Amino acid sequence: MDEMPGKVYLVGAGPGAPDLLTLRAAEILKRADVVFHDALVHPQTLELAARAKKIAVGKRSGRHSTAQKFINKRLVDAARGHKIVVRLKGGDPLLFGRAQEEIDALRKAGVDFEIVPGVTAATAAAAELGLSLTRRGLARHVAFVTPRAAEGERENDWAASVLSADTAVIYMGAGLAEAISAELIKRGKPKDTPLVLVESATLPERRVLHGTLADLPELARRTGEGPAVVLLGEVLKAALAEPAAAAKEIEALFKRA
Amino acid sequence: MDEMPGKVYLVGAGPGAPDLLTLRAAEILKRADVVFHDALVHPQTLELAARAKKIAVGKRSGRHSTAQKFINKRLVDAARGHKIVVRLKGGDPLLFGRAQEEIDALRKAGVDFEIVPGVTAATAAAAELGLSLTRRGLARHVAFVTPRAAEGERENDWAASVLSADTAVIYMGAGLAEAISAELIKRGKPKDTPLVLVESATLPERRVLHGTLADLPELARRTGEGPAVVLLGEVLKAALAEPAAAAKEIEALFKRA
């Protein structure tokens, strides 16, 4: 028998807390030979891959994007020398995870692969707020967008999606807060649209900042280096109405941890 | 010490396969005293709740919606007699799970609660297709919508969100396939927009039907009674281009199970 070709698993690590990983992802990590992981994957999640060589590939929020081709190549190479190769990404790999570039590279190289979906930051952030993103009679469409355009990308009219959605979740937007707020207000989104910025959702260091669309630049200035999602729409009004209560609930939640 | 008030956990069971549950959800189920579950939750997931009384509350795709108030009341009552009460919902509770009505009822009754997010059907279906919902340079906004309006609901312009999104995922839409296809085409969405209907995603009985927006009514007629999501947009073109390859991959995936 010749060289056994390996398989690459593109795995969602979930929004942050290590116990928001799926059972399937945990099983695959236990069997993994090599794990290529994002910088923000939790150390406890990596510990599950006890047998594996762990390689940080260091992408954060679209930075270091020139490294993508290099990551693609490393995945293909690893599958030639190992049976179980894991590419572990924060959140869900199929929502703003740039998985498609890796999928295309694996397909092109004839490498077998499988995708394991994960919990995405949007619903994890909403869970911490105690709020549904959809609400009967009030919110039946949710838009997940990112205003972050990549080099050479065609025009990205993220704002149109936000304007037509009842609830919108903006990924990787904290660094573009001024532009996001200005663009949406210019195009008719009310300044007082309820908005919540959640940084490091589901982690002990998470921050929840309440305000309105007009406040977004100020809220973003108060955040740190953690990954952040911005939620806006009428369903967030409940979070604004009782930020103190929401904060208390979140605190209680973390006493467990 | 008087009666200890219980806590209600609103838990996402994930898209179908029992190993797409989160570690946190599995732990809570093990400790549960009572579990109120949707009809479609996998039997193996329910088995995790070894100590618990299990009560099917039988909602499927918006049917039996008159029972919602009754479910709310049962959750509140259960928390008065038990320490750990779980409300287990298919997918993620905060995306089309009608969790808000239960949250409001629990808040009003002063019952402590916590939400555990889950993997939603959209990314699970995309994982089976081997396709990212977002794609650098092609798809930067994803809309999650349902065209299913509830009684007394205000006008639900789900179509506007689909029209402005690069990729759209329609939940609970298979029963309204004619109307969805007609409305979107009337409003300018090209008839040949690539579309995939995934029924019972992540389960052995899943079906993946490939076509275009114009084909949706025909595809929907070929589905059964399982929960279905419709994915449409240019990113699905890859699935159309190689349906045979995609089907083969999916088959391989299920050989494991």
Residue with tokens 């929004």: A15
A38 carries an active-site annotation: yes
Of B30, B54, B59, B83, catalytic: B59
Give a yes or no: residue A2 inside a domain.
no
CATH number at residue B89: 3.40.1010.10
Which of B38, B89, B92, B189 is labelled catalytic? Answer: B38
State whether B216 and B233 are in the same domain: yes
- Decide if A85 is inside a domain: yes
Tell me whether residue B216 is in a domain.
yes
Of the pLDDT bands very low, low, confident and very high (cuts 50, 70, 90), residue B61 is: very low
Beta bridge partners of residue A54, listed in sequence order: A35
* Residue A65, amino acid: S
Q: How far does the CA of residue A186 sit from the closest CA of chain B (Å)?
A: 18
Angle (CA) B180-B176-B174 rounded to 5° is: 100
Q: What is the pLDDT of residues B95-141, one digit of tens each?
A: 988 898 999 999 999 999 999 999 999 999 999 999 999 887 777 88
B161 plus B244 within the same structural domain: yes
Q: Point out the catalytic residue in the list A30, A53, A59, A112.
A: A59
Among B116, B138, B172, the domain-final residue is: B116
Asked if residue B14 belongs to a domain, the reply is yes
> Same domain, yes or no, for B86 and B137?
no
- Do residues B140 and B221 share a domain? yes
Same domain, B66 and B145: no
Amino acid at B122: A
**Computed over its alpha carbons, how large is the radius of gyration of chain A?**
19
pLDDT < 70 regions, chain A: 1-4, 58-66, 149-156, 239-257
Q: Which of B89, B116, B143 is the last residue of a domain?
A: B116
Q: Which domain holds residue A68?
A: 7-116
Give the pLDDT mean for B59-64.
52
The answer as to whether B1 is a domain residue is no
Amino acid at A221: R
The pLDDT of residue A1 = 36
Residue A35's pLDDT is what?
A: 98
A164 and A225 in a single domain? The answer is yes
Specify whether A80 is located in the same domain as A132. no
Locate A72 and state its tokens. Answer: 């693609």
Residues A181, A159 contacting (CB under 8 angstroms): no
φ, ψ (nearest 5 deg) of residue B52: -90, 150
Residue A52 domain flag: yes
Residues B209 and B154 in one domain: yes
Q: Is B59 a catalytic residue?
A: yes
State mean pLDDT over B9-28. 98
Chain A, window 13-52: residues with a beta carbon less than 8 angstroms from a chain B beta carbon = 14-15, 17-24, 26-27
Q: Is residue A247 part of a domain?
A: yes
What's the whole-model pTM score?
0.90
Rounded distance, CA A247 to CA A6, Å? 46
Q: Do B174 and B150 fall within a single domain? A: yes
| DSSP letter assigned to residue B150 | P
CA distances from A213 to A116, A166, B101 (A): 34, 14, 26
Q: Based on the fold, state whether residues B132 and B168 are members of the same structural domain.
A: yes
Give B169's contacts in chain A (Cβ within 8 Å).
none
- The confidence score (pLDDT) of residue A61 equals 47
Task: Give A 60-89 residues with CB within 8 A of chain B.
Answer: none
Residue pair A195/A216 in contact (Cβ under 8 Å)? The answer is: yes
Residue carrying structure tokens 């594996």: A52
Q: Which two tokens stand for residue A200?
A: 């490091």
Q: Are residues B61 and B170 in the same domain?
A: no
CA distance B150 to chain A (A): 7
Pairing outcome for strands B53-56 and B84-89: unpaired
Interchain proximity A23–B24, CB inside 8 Å: no
The single-letter code of the amino acid at A222 is R
CATH code at position A136: 3.30.950.10
pLDDT of residue B68 exceeding 50, the answer is: yes
Distance from C-alpha of B120 to C-alpha of B113, rounded to nearest angstrom? 21
On whether both A201 and A241 belong to a single domain, the answer is: yes
Structure confidence by residue, pLDDT tens digits, B164-218:
888 999 998 888 999 999 999 999 999 999 999 999 999 999 999 999 999 999 9
Residue in A closest to B253 by C-alpha = A114
Task: Among B116, B144, B174, identify where a domain stops.
Answer: B116
**pLDDT tens per residue, range B151-167:** 555 556 889 889 988 89
Q: Do B20 and A97 touch (CB under 8 A)?
A: no
Strand partners, A199: A207, A228
ipTM of the complex: 0.89
Give the up-direction half-sphere exposure of residue B23: CA atoms within 13 A in the CB hemisphere.
Answer: 15
Contact A161 B146 (CB under 8 A): no
Give the residue carrying structure tokens 């009666």. B3
Q: Taking all residues of chain B, what is their mean pLDDT, rounded to a whole number?
A: 87
In degrees and rounded to multiples of 5, residue A119 shows phi and psi of -75, 130
The predicted structure's pLDDT at residue A106: 95
| A229 contact partners, CB below 8 Å, separation of at least 6 | A121, A122, A125, A169, A170, A171, A173, A197, A198, A201
Which chain A positions have a beta carbon within 8 Å of B72's beta carbon?
none
Of residues A227, A234, A211, A237, the one with CA closest to residue A173: A227
Q: How many separate domains does chain B show?
A: 2
User: How far is it, in rounded angstroms, from Cα A124 to Cα A146?
Assistant: 17
- Under an 8 A CB cutoff, do A136 and B22 touch? no
Coil/strand/helix, residue B130: coil
Q: Would B231 be classed as within a structural domain? A: yes
B94: Cβ–Cβ under 8 A, 6 or more apart, which residues?
Answer: A123, A126, A127, A131, A132, A133, A134, B12, B115, B117
Q: Do A150 and B131 touch (CB under 8 A)?
A: no
